[in-house]
Structure 1
C-alpha cells in the first residue's frame, strides 16, 4: 500500500475514514495479537490477531471492518497447505461491545466451541466482526450483500497477514449459522464474481434468513419480533434512505433506540417485556413499501448458483428461521444445479440446532478439504 489518499464518509455515521489510494478489499490496516478463549479463563490452543481490514459495502463503496485471524499452535501436518475457514458468526447484537473479536478475547463468544472444532482440525479461521461492530455506523444486520463481502475479505486479509503464515492459494471453505448462515450464503453466491481469487472447497449454510417475508411472519407475534428492529437498523445502515424510519410508530422509534445498544442476550431478555406484534412498531407492512421490498429481495438467497458444494441445514423446530425456509434454500440450490446436500436436526430449536449440527458440518467440510468424492444427493 502507498501513501494516504482520499477520505470517505461512513454511511449514517458522520465519521470519515482515511483511505489509501491503492487499498484493495482484504488489505490489512492493523493487527493486534491476542489470546482467543473458549470460555473465560480457558485459552484455545491457538494464537490470534484482531485485524482491521478493507472491504466493500452492500453498494460497493470502500469500508473498513474488524475481525479475527486465528491459527492453531500446532503445525499443520496434513497434505498441502493449511486450510482456511471463513467463519461467519451468528447474531451477536448491534452494540460495538458485541463484536466477536472482543468476545473471543474475553471468553464470552457463544460460538467459540464451534470455532474450536476447526482449530482442533488444524485449520486457520478468519472471523469477521461484520460491518458496524467495532467500526463507525450501525451493524448491517442480515444484509447479506454487505456481510458476505466482509466474510470473503476477512479470508483475503488472513492470507495477507504475514504473522499468520497462511498460504495465499491454500484450500478454503466457509461456515455460518443463523445470521452467519445468511452471511455464508451471501459470500458463496458473491464469490464467483466478487472474490474469484478464493476458490472454495465447500460451505455450510445453516439456518440462513434466506426468505425475509417468511422469517418476519414467523417471529411476528412472538418475543423475537425485536429481530425486525435489528433488521431495520441493519438495512437503514446499508441503504440510507430506504424508508424504515419513516414507518416507525413512536414505540417503534423507542424500540430501535433500545436495541441499538444490545447484544443478543440483552435483546432476548428485553423481548418478553415488549409488545409482540409487528404493527405495534411499524405503521405499515415493510413489504408493502417498494424501496424496502426491493432491497430485501436483493438480499434474499437462492437465486445465484454458488460454485462449490454446499451443506444446508438446521433444526426442525427452529423458532427463528422456519424449517421450511431452510428446506426451500436447499431446493433452490438444487434447482440451480449446485451440488447441494441437506441435514436436519430433529426436534431442535435455533440455538441447540446450531450446536448439534456443527460436528456434521465440520465433517462435511473436512471431507471437501480431503478431496473426497461427493455424489449428488438423491433428492437434489
Structure 2
C-alpha cells in the first residue's frame, strides 16, 4: 500500500479468524475501489447469513480455545481470561485485546474535546487544533502517510445555541502551496456517543469511512472529515437533524481555511460528499449553503443512499437494523422532549441506554433481530412509536424540496439497499432535475446498504475528478 506507513508492533499479530464486527469493519476500512467485489464477499449477503455469523460469534466461550485456535503470540490461559470478560467475543478479538497494551496513543489529548468557556463570535471560527493520526486498520499496523490535524470550531445548533464541533483535516504527503480542490466528507452513521466521533475512530483505526477517506486521498487532494455537533464534544448529538448536520459541514469547511498548516483557502474548490447519514448531511448542507455559507467555493456534491424521508426509512427497516432504530428513538425523544419511560419497558430503556454508548457496528450486531415490540409497554413497535410521537421531528428532517446551489450533483444508490429505500434516492435525483440542476443518477447492485457504499466509490471518484476539471458529468435527467 503505497500511501501508508507500516508499523510492526513488538509481537507481530495476524487475525486467525474474523468476527462479524471485524469483518464489517475491515471490509470498509481496508477495501479498495479497485476490488469492490472482493470486499463485498466479506459482507453478509442475507439476514440468514448475518444471523448465522452472529450466532457463531455468541457461541464461542473460553472452553473452545486451545493451542490450535489461539495465536502463537498469546497463551491459551490469557486467551481464556480475555474471552471470559465478555459475553460476545471471538478468538479474533483475543489478538486485538492482547495488542491493546502495545498500541500507540491516538495523538489527540482527551481534554482537547472539552469546550472552552469562550467561543468565537463567527460560525466557522477556529477554537483550537492538534496533530492527530489516521490508521486504516484496527490493530494500528498501517498509519496513513497523510498529515492529520484535528481542529475544533464554532457552529450553532438548531435552537440557536453556540456549540463547539470538531473535524479532521488530512493533507496528502508532499502537498505544497494552495490546494486547487478538496473533498469534504460527511460520515455515515457513527453512533451517538462521543467515542464514536470519526476523529476519534480514525485515530483508533476503527473508522469504516476510512475506505472513502483513503480513496479521496489517493487523488492527492486534501480531505476534510466532519464529526457533527455533539459527536466528540459536549452536548447531545441530534441524530439525522438536518439543520445541525448541514451547519456542521459548512462551518467545518469555513473553519479549515484558518487552520494552521491548511492548504485550503477561500478559492479552493470543494466537493461535499457523503453516504447514508452522510448523504443526509451533504444534502442538508446543500440546502443551507446559500444562506449559511454563501462564500464557500462549492464545485460539486455527491450524495449516496440519502434518507430523505425518515418515516419511510424507519418503516422499512428490518429487525437486523434494530440498533439504528434505538439511535433514532433516543435522539428523537431528546429533540421532541418526550419521556421514554412512559412508553418503553425496562428492557427497552436498557437497550436504548446501551445503544447510546455503542458505535454503529457494535449497536447493530448486539441488537440484530431484536423485535422492538418486546421493548414497549403496550407491545407496539418502534415504527409505531415514531408515527405516534415523533412525526413532527421526522418531518422537519425531510430533504429534497429546498433550493440548492447550481452545481453538478451525483446521487448514487443501490437497488438492493436494505436500509434506505432505493426509491428515495431516485426521487431526490428527479426533484433536483425538475429544479433545473445537472444531476448524474447512478444506481448499482451492491448487496445491502454496505455493499452499495463500496460499489459506489469508483463512480464517485470519477465524478469528482471530472467536476474538478470543469467537465460536465453525464446528465441523467432525461431518464428519471
TM normalised by structure 1 equals 0.87
1:121-200 matches, within 5 Å, as 121-200=219-298
Farther-moved stretch of structure 1 (152-161 vs 278-287): 278-287
1:336-375 matches, within 5 Å, as 336-374=435-473
For 1:158, what is the secondary structure of its paired residue? helix
1:38-59, CA deviations, whole angstroms, 9 ceiling, x for partnerless residues? 2222122310111111111123
C-alpha change, 1:30 and 1:245, in structure 2 (3 Å) is farther
- Measure the CA separation in 1 of the matches of 2:395 and 2:356: 24
C-alpha displacement at 1:158, in angstroms?
Answer: 1.2
Task: Give the corresponding residue for 2:412.
Answer: 313
- Whether contact under 8 Å (1:82, 1:124) holds in the other structure is no
C-alpha displacement at 1:242, in angstroms?
Answer: 5.5
Quick check: which one's strand share is greater?
Answer: 1
Task: Indicate whether 1:235 and 2:332 are aligned.
Answer: yes
- Whether contact under 8 Å (1:87, 1:127) holds in the other structure is yes
How well do the aligned residues superpose, as a CA RMSD in angstroms? 2.3
1:75-154 matches, within 5 Å, as 75=175, 81-154=179-252
For 1:272, what is the secondary structure of its paired residue? coil
Task: Give the corresponding residue for 2:356.
Answer: 260
C-alpha displacement at 1:240, in angstroms?
Answer: 5.5
C-alpha change, 1:283 and 1:344, in structure 2 (3 Å) is closer
- Measure the CA separation in 2 of the matches of 1:245 and 1:143: 23
C-alpha change, 1:348 and 1:159, in structure 2 (3 Å) is same
Equivalent of 1:286, from 378, 381, 386?
Answer: 386
- Measure the CA separation in 1 of the matches of 2:265 and 2:156: 23
- Whether contact under 8 Å (1:249, 1:283) holds in the other structure is no
- Measure the CA separation in 1 of the matches of 2:340 and 2:286: 28
- Measure the CA separation in 2 of the matches of 1:16 and 1:46: 27
Structure 1: tracts of 5 or more residues without a match: 1-14
Task: Give the corresponding residue for 2:145.
Answer: 45
Equivalent of 1:211, from 309, 313, 318?
Answer: 309
Equivalent of 1:29, from 124, 127, 133?
Answer: 127
- Whether contact under 8 Å (2:311, 2:386) holds in the other structure is no
- Report how many aligned residue pairs link the two structures: 359
- Measure the CA separation in 1 of the matches of 2:443 and 2:129: 39
Of structures 1 and 2, the larger Rg is shown by 2
For 1:213, what is the secondary structure of its paired residue? helix
- Measure the CA separation in 2 of the matches of 1:313 and 1:225: 24
Task: Give the corresponding residue for 1:7.
Answer: none
C-alpha displacement at 1:16, in angstroms?
Answer: 8.0
- Whether contact under 8 Å (1:86, 1:152) holds in the other structure is no
For 2:152, what is the secondary structure of its paired residue? strand
Task: Give the corresponding residue for 1:4.
Answer: none
Farther-moved stretch of structure 1 (40-49 vs 265-274): 265-274
C-alpha change, 1:245 and 1:199, in structure 2 (3 Å) is farther
- Measure the CA separation in 2 of the matches of 1:283 and 1:176: 26
C-alpha displacement at 1:76, in angstroms?
Answer: 5.5
- Whether contact under 8 Å (1:312, 1:341) holds in the other structure is yes
- Measure the CA separation in 2 of the matches of 1:270 and 1:295: 27
- Measure the CA separation in 2 of the matches of 1:304 and 1:63: 25
Misfit runs of 4+, over 6 Å: none
- Whether contact under 8 Å (2:316, 2:421) holds in the other structure is yes
For 1:193, what is the secondary structure of its paired residue? helix
